[in-house]
């Protein structure tokens, strides 16, 4: 995808999102409240989180309005008086503990409320890898001319009570948490957000992630894509640096591409915002176990103009930025409760682009907010399915 076309997709999505979430804006009414909070160290035997820097972000419908700072007391508590807010605003707090950023849930500042309590949980870091697993893997496939375009989206969990900060690597002072292989003939690698040399580093036939993995079912997210030379009946083999709980493969019906494999089961078509798609599930995998599947008989999409892969992968990445990539293949629309979270992500994006946040803080805060949106979507009734 060309940079100009990608920016066009993102801009169009941002404009549409603004129209969706702008409908619930209310007339601003300035008022002040008191915000209290508690930081808890959830690692067994972990130190009390005293003297930690706390940053409170307060959001309006138009983005971030105010930032407040304080520090925790000896027992991890904190208090901010006179926080100026407006109707329908929201807020969350963040702290940095032993080099890792942690955030609270995003809370809505309801009209007439005089106080708000926030909770943050921190963990001790570990250099010995805990039980890190890929909880969900989504692979999107589309043939375009003589190329097979592949998009892969990972949700990663950490079942321990410590934050995995990675193993030492020969990449300066950086540590790597998970490695991702690539097929030998992969080309045109792209990432959702910072790529090689930033969050990711080149590593042993692929790349590796340097972002810490905090405890939680879906506490980290990786989204990337590439293309392969296409031939009928070609095999694609993928290997993983962790066990994989759930695998879904998707291909647009318009392309006529079929997917098969020893552990692959077709589960039928499903409607998407980009048209109908065929879907397949694969059996769970143990760490380092390989997934092999073949693709065949696909009618090539047009190599010029706006091809499905450009729109589909662009939308795939865009929705992932709002924390719902694996819900791409569900009926469209976000629940109303997600609107403040989306606004918070948009404000973080603006702060990062303006240089007010480091890349590490930006990615970790964004991941935490997206995790909250995923939880909202999982709790949403599945109508019409």
- State the CATH number of the domain containing residue 172: 2.60.40
Q: What is the CATH number of the domain that holds 99?
A: 2.60.40.1120
105 and 177 inside one domain? no
* Boundary (domain end) residue, out of 66, 98, 122: 122
CA separation for the pair 180, 258 (Å, rounded): 25
How many CA atoms lie less than 13 Å away from 67 in the CB half-sphere?
Answer: 13
* Boundary (domain end) residue, out of 122, 153, 182: 122
pLDDT of 382 over the 80 cut: no
- Tens of pLDDT, residues 3-27: 334 344 333 344 334 433 443 333 4
CA separation for the pair 137, 243 (Å, rounded): 11
* Boundary (domain end) residue, out of 122, 141, 167: 122
Domain for residue 258, yes or no?
yes
71 and 205 inside one domain? no
Look at residues 130, 4, 122 and name the one whose alpha carbon lies nearest to residue 54.
Answer: 122
CA separation for the pair 382, 33 (Å, rounded): 37
Residues 6+ apart with CB under 8 A from 188: 226, 227
CB 152 within 8 A of CB 249: no
CA 38 from chain center: how many Å? 26
Domain for residue 385, yes or no?
no
Look at residues 371, 183, 373, 375 and name the one whose alpha carbon lies nearest to residue 293.
Answer: 183
CB 65 within 8 A of CB 89: yes
Domain count, the chain: 2
115 and 137 inside one domain? no
Look at residues 258, 275, 293, 364 and name the one whose alpha carbon lies nearest to residue 137.
Answer: 293
CA separation for the pair 349, 363 (Å, rounded): 10
β-pairing verdict for 147-158 and 132-144: antiparallel
Domain for residue 49, yes or no?
yes
107 and 216 inside one domain? no
CA separation for the pair 284, 243 (Å, rounded): 8
Scan for tokens 């790597």, then name that residue: 176
Scan for tokens 């300035």, then name that residue: 30
291 and 313 inside one domain? yes
Look at residues 267, 19, 260, 305 and name the one whose alpha carbon lies nearest to residue 145.
Answer: 305
Scan for tokens 């405890």, then name that residue: 215
77 and 150 inside one domain? no
Domain for residue 54, yes or no?
yes
Phi, psi of 365 (to 5 degrees): -65, -40
Domain for residue 348, yes or no?
no
CA separation for the pair 336, 342 (Å, rounded): 10
- Tens of pLDDT, residues 212-222: 999 988 888 88
136 and 285 inside one domain? yes
Q: Where does the pLDDT of residue 74 fall: very low under 50, low under 70, confident under 90, or very high at 90 and above?
A: very high
CA 48 from chain center: how many Å? 30
118 and 175 inside one domain? no
- Distances from the Cα of 10 to the Cα of 244, 282, 311, 351, 359, angstroms: 30, 31, 10, 17, 20
Domain for residue 23, yes or no?
no
240 and 265 inside one domain? yes
Greatest Cα-to-Cα distance within the chain, rounded to the nearest angstrom: 66
58 and 195 inside one domain? no
Give residue 55's domain range. 32-122
CA separation for the pair 98, 78 (Å, rounded): 18
% of residues, the chain, pLDDT over 90 = 26
pLDDT for the residue 19: 35
Task: Compute the 3-state secondary structure of the chain and give helix, strand, coil in percent, each to the nearest 5.
Answer: 20, 45, 35
CB 329 within 8 A of CB 279: yes
153 and 251 inside one domain? yes
Domain for residue 169, yes or no?
yes
Domain for residue 338, yes or no?
no
> What's the rounded mean pLDDT across residues 54-72?
81
235: three-class secondary structure by DSSP: strand
80: three-class secondary structure by DSSP: strand
109 and 223 inside one domain? no
- Tens of pLDDT, residues 112-158: 778 889 999 999 999 899 899 999 898 888 888 888 988 898 989 99
Q: Which run of H or E residues covers position 129?
A: none
- Tens of pLDDT, residues 300-334: 555 444 443 443 444 344 334 333 333 333 333 44
% of residues, the chain, pLDDT over 70 = 67
pLDDT of 378 over the 60 cut: no
């Amino acid at each position: 995808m060309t940079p100009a076309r990608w920016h066009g997709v993102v801009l169009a999505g941002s404009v549409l999102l603004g129209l969706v979430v702008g409908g619930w804006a209310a007339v601003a009414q300035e008022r002040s409240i008191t915000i209290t909070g508690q930081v808890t160290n959830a690692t067994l035997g972990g130190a009390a989180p005293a003297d930690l820097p706390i940053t409170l972000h307060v959001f309006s419908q138009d983005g971030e309005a105010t930032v407040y700072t304080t520090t925790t007391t000896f027992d991890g508590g904190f208090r901010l008086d006179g926080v100026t807010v407006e109707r329908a605003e929201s807020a969350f707090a963040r702290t940095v503990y032993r080099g890792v950023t942690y955030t609270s849930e995003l809370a809505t500042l309801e009209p007439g409320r005089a106080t708000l309590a926030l909770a943050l949980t921190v963990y001790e870091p570990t250099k010995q890898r805990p039980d890190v697993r890929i909880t969900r893997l989504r692979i999107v496939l589309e043939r375009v001319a003589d190329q097979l375009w592949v998009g892969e989206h990972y949700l990663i969990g950490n079942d321990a009570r410590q934050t995995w900060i990675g193993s030492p690597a020969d990449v300066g002072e950086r540590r790597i948490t998970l490695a991702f292989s690539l097929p030998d003939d992969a080309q045109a690698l792209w990432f959702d957000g910072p790529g090689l040399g930033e969050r990711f580093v080149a590593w042993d036939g692929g790349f590796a992630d340097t972002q810490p993995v905090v405890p939680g079912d879906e506490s980290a997210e990786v989204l990337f894509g590439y293309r392969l030379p296409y031939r009928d009946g070609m095999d694609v083999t993928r290997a993983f640096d962790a066990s994989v709980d759930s695998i879904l493969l998707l291909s647009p019906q318009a392309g006529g591409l079929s997917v098969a494999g020893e552990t692959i089961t077709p589960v039928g078509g499903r409607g998407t915002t980009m048209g109908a798609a065929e879907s397949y599930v694969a059996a769970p995998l143990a760490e380092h176990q390989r997934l092999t599947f073949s693709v065949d008989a696909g009618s090539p999409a047009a190599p010029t103009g706006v091809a499905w892969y450009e729109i589909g992968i662009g939308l795939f990445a865009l929705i992932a930025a709002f924390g719902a990539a694996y819900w791409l293949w569900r009926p469209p629309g976000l629940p109303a409760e997600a609107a403040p979270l989306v606004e918070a992500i948009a404000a973080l994006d603006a702060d990062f682009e303006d240089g007010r946040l480091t890349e590490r803080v930006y990615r970790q805060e964004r991941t935490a907010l997206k995790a909250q949106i995923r939880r909202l979507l999982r709790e949403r009734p599945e109508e019409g399915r």
